[in-house]
Amino acid sequence: MKAYQILSFDEPPSLTEVEKPTPGEGEILLEIAACGLNFGDLLMAKGQYQEKPPLPFTLGMEVAGTVVETGANVDDLPPGTRVLVGGGSGLAEFGVFPAAKALPIPDDMPFTDAAAFQVAYGTSHVGLEHRLKLQAGENLLVLGAAGGVGLTAIEIGKLMGATVIACARGKDKLAICESVGADHLIDSESDDIREAVKALGGADAVYDPVGGDQFKAAMRACNPEARLLVVGFASGDIPQIPANHLLVKNLNVMGYYWGGYNVFRPEVIRDSMRRLVGWYEDGKLKPHVSHALPLEQAAEAYELLRSRKSTGKVVVTMT
């Protein structure tokens, strides 16, 4: 079978021929239909991600497909079951995954939606509800708002009753933010983020996958007792936080790595996914996939992420 693999951290990924895997106890074999791409993949390809699999390994954290075979002690996911699952090795025609991490999806949910669903919506939902404890009526500032997690943070923030201030680069990206429910729009290219947020009443909660100067501006626009969630550093700049600013305004800055919950509190992710799939079935969520490319064009798909030419999610399809 074909797989898009990292053979060396000094070389670009390549499409290679590998043996089709066999499921072991507690595992399922999926015929993979689609895989969602994430910024974490770009770091993983360089050996710079929080998790560093042994070489060689297959990229792709976010998978959707059909069960074709099960290992021992797997009784609830018979062959033919359509599922989403995370954990890696998604950019391949087949893959083996722990049955405990797989979640059946509705029959009318396209695989491209399922592959765009788990990381972006899961990250935003657990971040906003479990970590930030967002409350109805609060001002939520979303940085990098036109990206995969940014758009989902807008949608979920609105479902939770917040007033959402979306910050993104350029009119086209801001138009997409508005289309998914953002109440206010800030152009990070031309607007003074601090002054624009303060003019809207300040931020009570900040969702930040960007870092850098945008984090610093957001922190200065916070209301007393605001909470800032550090989701990532898409800017490439990890900000240094002056503790005296936290003291003066009684601010809380929280680190957040969604994938970590798979290790120390997996029930948080399972419960979140069930609620999110329910919201999808009710028509309350609609994944935004700006590009869907075949496996043979995986390199081009990742370049869309790297160059920030995509909005929402980029998905690679296997057929």
Query: Which CATH number, 1.10.3720.10, 1.20.20.10, 3.90.420.10, 3.40.50.720, labels domain 123-259?
Result: 3.40.50.720
CB 232 within 8 A of CB 39: yes
- What was the pLDDT predicted at 186? 98
- What was the pLDDT predicted at 49? 80
CB-based contacts of 97, cutoff 8 Å, min separation 6: 27, 28, 30, 63, 85, 87, 89
CB-based contacts of 159, cutoff 8 Å, min separation 6: 279, 284
pLDDT along the chain (319 residues), means of 10: 94 94 96 94 84 89 96 95 91 96 93 94 97 98 95 97 97 96 96 98 97 96 98 90 93 94 90 93 93 96 91 91
SS3 assignment, position 70 = strand
What tokens were used for 151?
A: 């758009």
pTM: 0.86
Going by DSSP bridges, is the β-strand pair 94-98/27-36 parallel, antiparallel, or unpaired? antiparallel
32 bridge partner residues = 65
Residue ranges covered by each domain of the chain: 2-117+287-317, 123-259
- What was the pLDDT predicted at 200? 98
- What was the pLDDT predicted at 294? 97
Fold held by 2-117+287-317: Quinone Oxidoreductase; Chain A, domain 1 (3.90.180)
CB 121 within 8 A of CB 59: no
